[in-house]
Structure 1
Amino acid sequence: MLDLILCVDDDPITLMLSKKVIFKTTFTHEIITAQNGEEALQFFDSIRHKGADFNIRPQLIFLDLNMPVMGGWEFLDSFNSLAYSDFNTTTKIVILSSTIDPADLEKAKTYPMVIDFLSKPITLSMLDYLSKKV
């Protein structure tokens, strides 16, 4: 069981449904959300500046690609940088998208922290599958 998951998506209904499905399992103790990549990076910045311990760091991020302010690809570019090296080697990312474009699948493989690219919405079988990968 994971301690903490971060769900990054601009759709509040998707976030609500994701939380409901995840909490039906023993997949995690806690879920936090961000509405775009910028909010997610701000969360990691706050951890770094507070010198918080490892336990409040998400072990897994569910990341949408198409969001206003900062989308998933921009988040990944920033998160993959040296500035986030305290996190990007231990936090795994699953991209959740409503469409699976082969070009996006290939691009996702270039980010070492991305462990999978799955189609929305999160399902119980998806969590069972992911529990073997994280």
Structure 2
Amino acid sequence: MLKKVFCVDDDSIALMLYKMVIKKAAFTDEIITAFNGQEALEYYDTLLSENSEPMDYPELIFLDLNMPIMGGWEFLERFSNEEYAAFRGTKVIILSSTIDPADLRRVGEFPIVIDFLSKPISKEMLENLKSKWM
């Protein structure tokens, strides 16, 4: 089981579903959320400014791509900069409804992305992730 998972999606219903399914699957001890990439970066900026311990960092981010203010790709570009080097141990799983082959190819630009999955999240998906990555 992971200690902390971060879900970033602009859809409040999707976030509620993520929380429900993740809890039911006993996938993590704690779930935090943000509505877009900007809020997610602000969360990480707070961790940096408070000199938080690495054990307090989310181990995994479920990231939507299409969000207002700052989408998933822009978040990944910024999060991959040296400014956020302290979080290199954090892995990302993109959860998206996109079927654009360009998005699937672009994933390779970001070594922190370990998977690209279609929405919605399911208990079976989480069980598969447990066996595959943990």
Fold shared per TM-score above 0.5: yes
Matched with 1:10 is 10
Deviation at 1:129, TM superposition (A): 1.3
- Distance of 2:54 and 2:25 partners within structure 1: 23
Deviation at 1:33, TM superposition (A): 0.2
**Match status 1:85 vs 2:85:** yes
Matched with 1:64 is 64
- Which stretches of structure 1, 4 residues or more, deviate above 4 A after TM superposition? none
Deviation at 1:56, TM superposition (A): 1.6
- Distance of 2:124 and 2:24 partners within structure 1: 12
Deviation at 1:102, TM superposition (A): 1.1
- Distance of 2:108 and 2:95 partners within structure 1: 14
Matched with 1:104 is 103
Deviation at 1:16, TM superposition (A): 0.1
Matched with 2:116 is 117
Structure 1 residue matching 2:98: 3-state secondary structure: coil
**Match status 1:129 vs 2:128:** yes
TM-score, normalised on structure 1?
A: 0.97
Deviation at 1:130, TM superposition (A): 1.1
Cα RMSD (Å): 0.8
Deviation at 1:100, TM superposition (A): 2.4
Deviation at 1:35, TM superposition (A): 0.3
- Distance of 2:8 and 2:81 partners within structure 1: 19
Unpaired segments ≥5 residues, structure 2: none
Structure 2 residue matching 1:109: 3-state secondary structure: helix
Deviations 1:2-33 (A, max 9, x none): 00000000000000001000000121000000
The code of the aligned residue for 1:53 comes to E
Matched with 2:23 is 23
- Distance of 1:129 and 1:101 partners within structure 2: 23
- Distance of 1:31 and 1:100 partners within structure 2: 27
The code of the aligned residue for 1:94 comes to I
State the number of aligned residues: 133
Matched with 1:51 is 51
Deviation at 1:40, TM superposition (A): 0.3
Matched with 1:37 is 37
Deviation at 1:55, TM superposition (A): 2.1
TM-score, normalised on structure 2?
A: 0.97
- Distance of 1:49 and 1:93 partners within structure 2: 22
